[in-house]
Amino acid sequence: MNPQHKTGDVILAAENISLSFGGVKALTDISLDVREHELLSIIGPNGAGKSSMLNVINGVYHPQQGQVTWRGKPRGAIHPHEAARMGIARTFQNIALFKGMSVLDNIMTGRNLKMHANFLQQALWWGRAQREEMAQREKVEQIIDFLEIQAIRKTPVGRLPYGLQKRVELARAIAAEPTLLLLDEPMAGMNVEEKQDMCRFILDINDAFGTTIVLIEHDMGVVMDISDRVIVLDYGKKIGDGTPHDVRNNPDVIAAYLGTRH
Amino acid sequence: MFYREAGQFKTSYAADSAILPIRQDRIFIIALLLFAFVAVPGLASDYLLSGILIPFLVLSLAALGLNLLTGYAGQLSLGSAAFMAVGAYATYNFMLRVPGMPLLLALVLGGLSAALVGVLFGLPSLRIKGFYLAVATLAAQFLVEWVFTKFPWFSNDSSSGVISSPVLSVFGITLDTPAEKYLLTLAIVALMALAAKNMVRSSLGRAWMAIRDMDVAAEVIGIRMLRTKLLAFAISSFYCGVAGALYAFVFLGTVDAQAFDLNRSFQILFMIIIGGVGSILGAFLGAAFIVLLPVLLNLAGQLLHGAVSSQFMSNLEMMIFGALIIFFLAVEPLGLARLWQISKEKLRLWPFPH
Ligand SMILES: Nc1ncnc2c1ncn2[C@@H]1O[C@H](COP(=O)(O)OP(=O)(O)OP(=O)(O)O)[C@@H](O)[C@H]1O
Ligand SMILES: [Mg+2]
């Protein structure tokens, strides 16, 4: 369904990543690469290490072994804010919005890296501070239109239903205009209609802005439908990597999902 | 009915993100400022100016400072009075030791000294949060008090760290009447409140709130934890430092380090809890409440012609504070400012139920 020729060079490569928490091995010797413009899904049973992998990619977790290469250069142990500066944005499995702020302010916060006024200019609401605020507001309004959340822009996010919160979190992530967007179960807990909307947005972001997307999702229908490539994790190990078609017919993957192994 | 934005359509983002987007609010604030600057100095008695309005304004400023740090950036501090003390003693020494030092410059330098100390004691915030951070700021409280009592240099060798107000003059005008002192305080507080409002509605304020609400997500978005937290400590302590200097020299005239003890820190914390955590207005409401409550209780006591002892009245004051703090913490964590907002929302709909 998705043409393979759209994908470009490898922008991120994880090499032999191992991560453990005390005695729990979250990831064991995982290597994977992410190619520019592709929509890559990571699937696997609960506790397989999917979220941990995203946390390694954007510097929240630091693996005990292995390294991550960004655009051909090894990265070392970086902070999440440095990953953001490289152009990596994400959403969280458990919604991580700024509860005390409105939808608009949450999305504006997503653009903080585009704003450079110092605090004195901001205190005086003067020059650059004011110009930036207006310019960024305009961009944020485009995102609000794109994700069809005009009606709730002034609502405190805590008052929104779950599905809309997920959408606002997506808005905040794309506000940074990332090169690589990591989505951790953006459709979990949604009804069919909300899922369809979310799929449409994800595909649009991928198509219209060329944003590379790594998606974690449990709904196999969705994954097989929209992904260019699928990686399968199980008990912290990679057991499959290929097109949706390949992965669906991979005996290891079938076994993992039917629970005949282990 | 009267408080409605009907017919006020925002045609630009500038209008929509204006400091007070609703016209009635703008009119109200302008009228209030005019009243405070023009009418009050002429109308109010010296007691009202020196005994109520000046301490109200000064403590509002300190509460504003704490609210930036605790209410917006989410970093709990019990060191507000310590930062006030640094501001007071530093301003005093700049005035004393630098010939021809203008008052306003000394206030800024005093504020900057407090900011520096604030940053120092803010460093632990990178590792610790909440209750434990509060304990760390408590260290600032005790250390600063001890330093100013112990080392006479800071108080120009006076006994037990007492410092007295230098001559207060601004642009060649000597301020000696309560009305003049009030106007100076009002001007400083109004400007700093405006600056605070501007900061919290721009990217710095959003970064603070982001850290407060969800620190991992804030970092993932690209906010630098260290810089943002320390800036909150610096700016907050600057506000407290200026408030401390005004408290010492414009309000009291003569103070020692005990004027800035832990009780003062708690008093300021209670102001933001009662007034509203994370609200500029809340700092003023909380300060007004805490300054006015004892005055009102005192009045009530006089009306009862000594039927109740003053001892009872001051106990009653503590009980009312205690009850209110529990009420606000448990029922309305956003304080009086939130109650005000709710009543405005009601007023918008009035007289229709929905
Ligand atoms: N911060 C942490 N501390 C301790 N253990 C952790 C931590 N994060 C993850 N783990 C453990 O690592 C393993 C992998 O967790 P992870 O969240 O990556 O799985 P997942 O594939 O995202 O699962 P799910 O589908 O349930 O979200 C689990 O056993 C989990 O308990
Ligand atoms: Mg997960």
Instruction: Look at ligand 1, atom 12, and give the residue with the nearest C-alpha.
Output: A26
Q: What is the pLDDT of residues A124-156, one digit of tens each?
A: 998 889 999 999 999 999 999 999 999 999 999
Is the CB of residue B134 less than 8 Å from the CB of residue B78? Answer: yes
Residue of chain B minimizing CA distance to A174: B221
- Ligand closest in space to the Cα of A232: 1
Count of C-beta atoms within a 10 Å radius of residue B118: 32
Close Cβ partners of B132 (under 8 Å, ≥ 6 residues apart): none
- 3-state secondary structure at position A18: strand
Give the model's pLDDT for residue B125.
86
More confident residue, B252 or B2: B252
Interface TM-score (ipTM) > 0.90:
yes
Pick the CATH number of B53-349 from 1.20.1110, 1.20.58, 1.10.3470, 1.10.10: 1.10.3470
**Partner-chain contact A98 B209, CB within 8 Å:** yes
Count of C-beta atoms within a 10 Å radius of residue A18: 16
CA distances from A184 to A95, A196, A211, B31, B192 (A): 10, 17, 16, 51, 42
Side chain identity, residue B93: N
Give the model's pLDDT for residue B1.
44
> Which of B13, B221, B235 lies closest to A112 in CB terms?
B221
Cα of A53 to ligand 2 centre, how many Å? 9
First-to-last CA distance in chain B? Answer: 12
| Strand order across the beta sheet in which A237-242 lies | A88-91, A180-184, A212-216, A39-43, A229-234, A237-242
Q: Beta strand pairing status for A24-35 and A10-21?
A: antiparallel
Mean pLDDT value across chain B: 88
Cα of A202 to ligand 2 centre, how many Å? 19
Is the CB of residue B88 less than 8 Å from the CB of residue B247? Answer: yes
**Among positive and negative, which fits the CA dihedral A191, A192, A197, A199?**
positive
B13 contact residues in A (CB cutoff 8 A): 134, 137-138, 141
Q: Which residue has the tokens 């996010």?
A: A157
Residue A136: φ, ψ to 5°: -70, -35
Give the model's pLDDT for residue B165.
81
pLDDT at B3 over 70: no
Q: Which residue has the tokens 């260019």?
A: A228
What the block records as the tokens of A63 is 């693996």
Provide the pLDDT confidence category of residue A8 given band limits of 50, 70 and 90.
confident
d(CA B94, CA B98): 6
CATH 3.40.50.300 occupies which residues in chain A? 1-87+178-262
Provide the pLDDT confidence category of residue B6 given band limits of 50, 70 and 90.
low
d(CA B353, CA B41): 42
Regarding the beta carbon of A184 and ligand 1, being less than 6 Å apart is answered no
Q: How far is B243 from chain A (nearest CA, A)?
A: 18
Pick the CATH number of A1-87+178-262 from 2.40.110.10, 3.30.1490.20, 3.30.420.10, 3.40.50.300: 3.40.50.300
Angle made by CA atoms A33, A38, A40, in degrees to the nearest 5: 60
Secondary structure tally for chain A: helices H, strands E: 10, 10
d(CA A28, CA A49): 9
- Ligand closest in space to the Cα of A25: 1
- Ligand closest in space to the Cα of A52: 1
Q: Does A93 touch chain B (CB under 8 A)?
A: no
pLDDT at B342 over 90: no
Q: How many CB pairs under 8 A join A and B?
A: 109
Average pLDDT over residues B119-135: 88
Average pLDDT over residues A13-41: 95
Which region holds residue B123: left if phi is over 0, alpha if psi is between -120 and 50, else beta? alpha
> Which of A115, A123, A132 lies closest to B199 in CB terms?
A123
Nearest alpha-carbon partner for A61 in A49, A73, A72, A69: A49
Chain mean position to CA B259:
16
Regarding the beta carbon of A155 and ligand 1, being less than 6 Å apart is answered no
Least confident of A40-54, B144-158, B273-287: B144-158
Average pLDDT over residues A162-180: 96
Regarding the beta carbon of A94 and ligand 1, being less than 6 Å apart is answered no
Instruction: Look at ligand 1, atom 17, and give the residue with the nearest C-alpha.
Output: A51
Give the model's pLDDT for residue A260.
52
A133 contact residues in B (CB cutoff 8 A): 17, 202-203
What the block records as the tokens of B12 is 């630009």
Residue of chain A minimizing CA distance to B214: A98
pLDDT at B7 over 70: no
Side chain identity, residue A205: I
Q: What is the pLDDT of residues A51-103, one digit of tens each?
A: 999 999 999 999 999 999 999 999 989 999 999 999 999 999 999 999 999 99
More confident residue, B299 or A167: A167
Give the model's pLDDT for residue B269.
95
Regarding the beta carbon of A51 and ligand 1, being less than 6 Å apart is answered yes
> Which of A58, A100, A117 lies closest to B209 in CB terms?
A100
Query: Radius of gyration over alpha carbons of chain B, in Å?
Result: 21
Give the model's pLDDT for residue A61.
96
CA distances from B86 to B76, B116, B133, B183, B193 (A): 19, 10, 20, 24, 21
Give percent above pLDDT 70 in chain A.
96
**Partner-chain contact B202 A172, CB within 8 Å:** no
Regarding the beta carbon of A24 and ligand 1, being less than 6 Å apart is answered yes
d(CA B237, CA B84): 8
Give the model's pLDDT for residue B100.
86
- Return the H-helix or E-strand segment holding B352: none
Give the model's pLDDT for residue A262.
44
Q: How far is A80 from chain B (nearest CA, A)?
A: 5
What is the pTM (predicted TM-score) of this model? 0.91
Provide the pLDDT confidence category of residue A1 given band limits of 50, 70 and 90.
very low
